[in-house]
Amino acid sequence: MAVNFTVFDAFLPIDGVRLGVAQAGVRYANRDDLVVMEIADGAHVAGVFTRNAFCAAPVTLCQQHLQQAQPRYVLINTGNANAGTGKSGFANAEASCRMLAAATGVEPQHVLPFSTGVIGEPLNMAAFERGIPLALANLSEDNWARAARGIMTTDTLPKGYSSECDIDGHRVRITGISKGAGMIMPNMATMLGYIATDAYIAESILQDWCRQLADCSFNRITIDGDTSTNDSCLLIATGRSGVRIEDVNSDAASALFTELKATFQRLAQAIVRDGEGATKFVTIAVEQAATQQEALDVAYTVAHSPLVKTAMFASDANWGRILAAVGRSGVQNFDLERVQIFIDDVQIVEDGGRCERYQEALGAAVFAKTEFTVTIQLGRGDVREALWTCDFSHEYVTINANYRS
């Protein structure tokens, strides 16, 4: 059951983007599993992708196509990752682009392919032959909600968000969807994210923004520490609103970036809230670090600890597990007497040892919450980083033990 998760249904259409959804039968019958996104001519598109060396065929092809031409179509299938499939997998990814290109009158390099699902199985090409015409037949600006469901795998709920704001006298809209629930760790995770705005954003700015926005959202979440083969995130700017972002230092740029950041983080946190078997949504904040990398090393070591995650699930305030994780994070020349650790406002470690004011009942009350924050102060500098994670439950093991059955 997702943690404090409300399904978003007030999607705002983005002028210049239409979506079509179909039941293609990629892996399962009678469910939406193929999404086509049509992007208007003149829009700018940027992307960030997994750093897994075994990245999926569609990831490699998508990166190539982004370098070759302005994208006009996005093609997404669920149920099969087309990863670990060798040369035949790459050929199938190319074939899927050719199918959509032929049906829409564009060149194959104008199509960006995305896949998610089981690794190591051949892609069902007959499903694309069936599904592409069906998806094109229902292209609509209002299909964001259905598309959010159409890209789900082990997700229990669809993930999406829309917002709008006034910039330079114009109304600007942002709408996005994401998917992911397991094999989630940054760089990026088994996740897909598609965020579109009707603002114009210069190409020289867009790619840098996409990376920055991913780094403070999708690259700050972890479910289980596994970096997937298929992670992808697109930022699309159609330029239809009248707002033009050409100076990154302008007030308009600052306002739009802030609004985009809120959307990216909302979509990323939704993935954690719907983590496989999750019952707790936990923020890990590291403060007073000497460097950003140091802060992240500590945060991820705590967030990835199975002992910490299972204690969270059990509502067991076994804070020694947190202390041990901080100690093995690789920080050099640690002055332990400077370390302070809190769970919400309850201090559990003071000057490197058990806080004299700490009582087990106070810690247990925090761990029993569905949401709480672990704050670790290192006493080494002024750098702060935070990430979002969840607990490990019996259900997590069940879901992944039965994933291919």
* Active-site amino acid positions: 190
Residue 132 CB burial class (10 angstroms; 0-12, 13-18, ≥19): buried
Find tokens 């990216």 and name the residue.
264
Q: Which two tokens stand for residue 5?
A: 């998760």
User: 184 and 222 in contact (C-beta within 8 Å)?
Assistant: yes
402: left (phi over 0), alpha (psi -120 to 50) or beta: alpha
Radius of gyration for the chain, computed over Cα atoms and rounded to the nearest angstrom: 22
Give the whole-angstrom CA distance, residue 11 versus residue 144. Answer: 7
Count the neighbouring beta carbons within 10 Å of the beta carbon of residue 320. 14
CA distances from 121 to 28, 118, 269, 307, 320 (A): 14, 7, 30, 33, 43
- Length of the chain measured in residues: 405
Instruction: Output the CA torsion 178→179→183→187 (10° steps).
Output: -20
Query: What is the pairing mode between strands 200-201 and 34-39?
Result: unpaired
Q: What are phi and psi of 400, to 5 degrees?
A: -80, -25
